[in-house]
Structure 1
Amino acid sequence: MISWDKDSLFALFFQVIKLQHKRMHTYLEKINIYPGQPPLLMALNFKDGQSQKELAEKLAIKPATITVMIGRMEKAELITRKQDSEDQRISRVYITEKGREICKQSMEIVNSISDECFSNFTEEEKALLRRMFMQMRDNLIEASNKKENV
């Protein structure tokens, strides 16, 4: 049973998520991007020229959402779209130099927030917390799979 006490495990976890999101949004505003954009930039920085479909699948985003996101990012000159030379039905997405610089800044932001979050933790505590987060993730994936199969 979940306790809605402000210091319950679930309430504290929710507070951490909200605070992390707020910190991320505050930092990203300074470089004029939205919280959903760094993962797309990082995916392209790792492997440039992916199709919109590949990016949507990799980032677990609906195709319509990725289309809007790419449009905004293209307008901001972070990425560019080009038709596939072999299949004109496929649009490939490429990161620009400006996008690479923003990607680098995004990684610095992620590292900074990570440092803020875990500054007073020992290596053992971080390893234990990582294992617990992985278990939480696995529990939620399992629960989601059960719901989908019902």
Structure 2
Amino acid sequence: MAKADKSATMSRLHSAARLSRTALAARLLSQGFYAGQDQIMLALDQQDGQTPGQLATRLGVRPPTITKTINRLQVQGFLEKRASDSDARQAHIFLTEAGRETIRGIEKSVRKTEKQAFRGLDKKDQKALSKLLSRIEANLNGGAVAEVDEDLELED
């Protein structure tokens, strides 16, 4: 691939990522969430009671970033911190009832954004794109390609 083609492809990759984040952020903002807050909420929906360090590792961000976002979500009434039973210095983060009630809305926003992004791509196209993106991620991480689940439920 020529250098100009690679540059154009990378530019499109950056643009698609930015546009998908912008589209999702707009949907989430209407529910009172800012960028990144949804990821913490969804991670806690999958496994409630994680520590800020566990959340940071899981989401691939720095602990200070997680702490700021957790504090904002706590002020909004979506999360609560509880001291660990075994180590009072360690906090665990839990969804509140209000937080649990917002999960379906977050998931709906994610699905709508996915549907918008993948419009016009059939299952085969989506699977191929997923494999290509896995390869790019692996190249940038310096690691092996994660296997793409052959039984993925992809929407047309």
**Higher-helix-fraction structure:** 1
Q: Using the TM superposition, give the Cα deviation of residue 2 of structure 1 relative to its aligned residue in structure 2, in angstroms.
A: 4.0
Q: Contact between 1:2 and 1:10, CA under 8 Å: does it hold in 2?
A: no
Letter matched to residue 124 of structure 1: K
Q: Using the TM superposition, give the Cα deviation of residue 77 of structure 1 relative to its aligned residue in structure 2, in angstroms.
A: 0.5
Provide the rounded CA distance (Å) in 1 between the counterparts of 2:56 and 2:18.
25
Q: Using the TM superposition, give the Cα deviation of residue 63 of structure 1 relative to its aligned residue in structure 2, in angstroms.
A: 1.5
* Percent identity (aligned): 22
- Does residue 123 (structure 1) correspond to residue 123 (structure 2)? The answer is yes
Structure 1 unmatched ranges of 5 or more: 144-150
Provide the rounded CA distance (Å) in 2 between the counterparts of 1:132 and 1:47.
29
Number of aligned pairs?
A: 142
**TM-score normalised over the length of structure 2:** 0.84
Letter matched to residue 62 of structure 1: R
- Residue pairs, 1:63-82, within 5 angstroms: 63-82=63-82
The corresponding residue for 2:89 is 89
**TM-score normalised over the length of structure 1:** 0.87
Q: Using the TM superposition, give the Cα deviation of residue 4 of structure 1 relative to its aligned residue in structure 2, in angstroms.
A: 8.2
**Equivalent residue of 1:50, what SS?**
coil
Q: Using the TM superposition, give the Cα deviation of residue 64 of structure 1 relative to its aligned residue in structure 2, in angstroms.
A: 1.3
Give runs of ≥4 in structure 1 deviating > 3 Å: none
Provide the rounded CA distance (Å) in 2 between the counterparts of 1:62 and 1:14.
22
- Residue pairs, 1:1-150, within 5 angstroms: 2-3=3-4, 8-142=8-142
Structure 2 unmatched ranges of 5 or more: 144-156
